[in-house]
Structures are given as structure tokens and as C-alpha cells.
């Protein structure tokens, strides 16, 4: 089975868990939405490629944007369609798609392109470049591109917040993330599917020469990746205060290194 087939199969099998993940990872979701609200123009045309089961796409549709949803997993697409119907929302379109090849879409056709997942799972640098190049091609001049990555420190943050005592059995996986910058699915561990991880200090350089001007680089959990689930148990008012704080410091070095997910926002040159 090829790498891309393994990724598709993984997400076909984990649709509901991926939908619920952004409830558990409420800071990641809330901070990212705050930055989207900051940079997206009103009533934008948006391509959400690698959308998963549609959390962002459906929220953005409800906010008045016209969203085309695409995901490698057909099961994710089917879930998003059903959830849109349940909510009484109308996605502009929803279909399977590969972020590396948007050849059916014309140049300069979207106000914004979101790639909040594809760059996690492409271990080839050429493939990652193709994702960025295709996204930039279909953006209008002045359009917004939003690209997410997983940090090399993510496995350590995740283990600390879930099961610190398991370091003896998880150390090799954590080191795989940190020192190799990649993980390949291993049936004996089943920790995660094939993935690529970045050093926060290297993200901005990835977009050099792509036609994008950096507008923001932020840590989606801010500096609170290890506290995210504990904070979720707080009363709503306290949780909102922590979310507001997370947004306010999300672009600091502490937040970039204290997050599991990193997000680059850029504007296409006119």
C-alpha cells in the first residue's frame, strides 16, 4: 500500500474521532478560528482542501462564506455532507480531492485557500511544494493562504498531557518525531499514520519564493498544549478567558514551541 493510500485508509477509519478531536483540542480549533476571522474578507470564496470531516468548512459556511470542501478521504467528505444537511447548511461543493493536484480548478479563483491537514502527511518535500504551489495558483491576487503543520515537539507534548508514565514504551516514537521529522505507520504501535513534522523555526523559510507574503505564524494551542484538556473542564467564562489569552500570545516563540500544531498565514502577491 502506498503512503497516500495508507493516509486515506487511516482517515476513512477515523472519521468520527477526527470530528470529535477538535472538541477535545478546543484551543487548536478556537485559536485557528480567531486567526481565520482576522484575515478572511467578508463573504469569501474559500477552498478548504484536506478539510477532514468539515469542522472549519461548516463553521465558515455558517458565517456566510462560500466553501468548496475537498478531502482525500471519501468517508470524511460523506460525513461533512451529512453534517451540513443536519445543520441546514449548503456547502458550495464537497468532493474527494488530492491537495497536490487541483488541475480541475482555474487560476486565481478563490479569496482564500485552507490547507489545514495535507502538509501533515506528505513526507516528500516535492509533494509538499506541490501543495503550496497549487494552493497559490488558485488564489486570487491578494488572496489568503492558511497552511498547518505538526511540530516536531508534538509527540512529547501529547505524551505529557495523556500518559507521561508511558515514556519507556513511547520514547522511540517521540524521538522519531523530534529527530527524524517523520513517522511511518507501524502496525505494532499504531500510534499515527505516515506524517511529516517541522521545527517551528523553519516554517517561514518553507514559503520563501512561493509568492506569499507572511502575515502570521502562530501556535494553534498557543503555549498551552499540555494544559489544553485540563482547561476544557473549566466553566465557560474561564475557558473563554484562556482562549482570549491564547490568541493574544499565539505568535510568540513560547507559543510556537509550546504548541502541537503550527499555522502559517500568507497573502498572495498582487
CA distance 112 to 142: 9
Contact 76, 55 (CB under 8 A): no
Backbone angles phi, psi at 50, to 5 degrees: 80, 40
* Domain positions in the chain: 3-268
Question: Which superfamily does CATH assign the domain made up of 3-268 to?
Answer: Vaccinia Virus protein VP39 (3.40.50.150)
What's the pLDDT score for residue 155? Answer: 87
Q: What is the pLDDT of residues 165-206, one digit of tens each?
A: 988 888 888 888 888 877 665 554 555 678 899 999 999 999
Contact 118, 50 (CB under 8 A): yes
Tell me: pLDDT of 235 over 60. Answer: yes
Q: What is the pLDDT of residues 116-160, one digit of tens each?
A: 999 998 989 999 999 999 999 999 999 999 999 999 999 898 888
Q: What is the pLDDT of residues 27-72, one digit of tens each?
A: 999 999 999 999 999 999 999 999 999 999 999 999 999 999 999 9
Sequence-ordered list of residues with C-beta below 8 angstroms from that of 46, at least 6 positions apart, any chain: 40, 57, 60, 65, 66, 67, 68, 110, 111, 112, 113, 114
Which of the two residues, 194 and 266, has the higher pLDDT score?
Answer: 266
Average pLDDT, the chain: 93
What's the pLDDT score for residue 187? Answer: 52
Tell me: pLDDT of 210 over 60. Answer: yes
What's the pLDDT score for residue 176? Answer: 80
What's the pLDDT score for residue 188? Answer: 44
What's the pLDDT score for residue 185? Answer: 56
Q: What is the pLDDT of residues 105-123, one digit of tens each?
A: 999 999 999 999 999 989 8
What's the pLDDT score for residue 104? Answer: 95
The percentage of residues in the chain with a pLDDT greater than 90, rounded to a whole number, is: 78
Tell me: pLDDT of 239 over 50. Answer: yes
Amino acid at each position: 500500500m502506498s503512503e497516500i493510500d495508507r493516509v486515506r485508509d487511516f482517515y476513512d477509519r477515523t472519521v468520527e474521532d477526527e470530528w470529535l478531536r477538535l472538541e477535545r483540542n478546543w484551543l487548536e480549533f478556537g485559536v485557528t478560528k480567531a486567526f481565520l476571522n482576522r484575515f478572511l474578507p467578508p463573504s469569501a470564496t474559500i477552498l478548504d482542501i484536506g478539510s477532514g470531516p468539515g469542522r472549519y468548512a461548516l463553521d465558515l459556511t455558517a458565517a456566510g462564506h462560500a466553501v468548496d470542501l475537498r478531502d482525500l478521504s471519501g468517508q470524511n467528505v460523506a460525513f461533512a455532507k451529512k453534517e451540513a444537511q443536519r445543520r441546514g447548511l449548503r456547502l458550495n461543493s464537497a468532493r474527494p480531492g488530492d491537495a497536490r493536484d487541483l488541475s480541475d480548478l482555474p487560476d486565481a479563483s478563490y479569496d482564500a485557500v485552507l490547507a489545514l491537514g495535507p502538509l501533515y502527511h506528505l513526507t516528500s518535500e516535492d509533494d509538499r511544494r506541490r501543495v503550496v504551489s497549487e494552493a497559490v495558483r488558485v488564489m486570487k491576487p491578494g488572496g489568503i493562504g492558511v497552511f498547518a503543520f505538526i511540530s516536531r515537539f508534538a509527540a512529547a507534548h501529547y505524551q505529557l498531557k495523556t500518559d507521561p508514565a508511558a515514556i519507556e514504551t513511547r520514547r522511540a516514537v517521540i524521538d522519531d518525531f523530534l529527530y527524524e521529522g517523520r513517522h511511518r505507520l507501524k502496525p505494532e504501535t499504531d500510534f499515527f499514520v505516515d506524517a511529516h513534522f517541522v521545527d517551528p523555526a523553519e516554517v517561514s523559510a518553507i514559503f520563501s519564493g512561493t509568492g506569499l507574503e507572511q502575515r502570521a505564524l502562530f501556535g494553534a494551542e498557543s503555549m498551552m498544549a499540555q494544559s489544553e484538556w485540563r482547561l476544557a473542564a473549566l466553566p465557560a467564562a474561564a475557558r473563554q478567558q484562556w482562549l482570549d489569552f491564547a490568541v493574544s500570545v499565539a505568535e510568540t516563540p513560547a507559543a510556537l514551541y509550546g504548541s502541537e500544531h503550527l499555522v502559517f498565514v500568507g497573502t498572495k502577491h498582487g
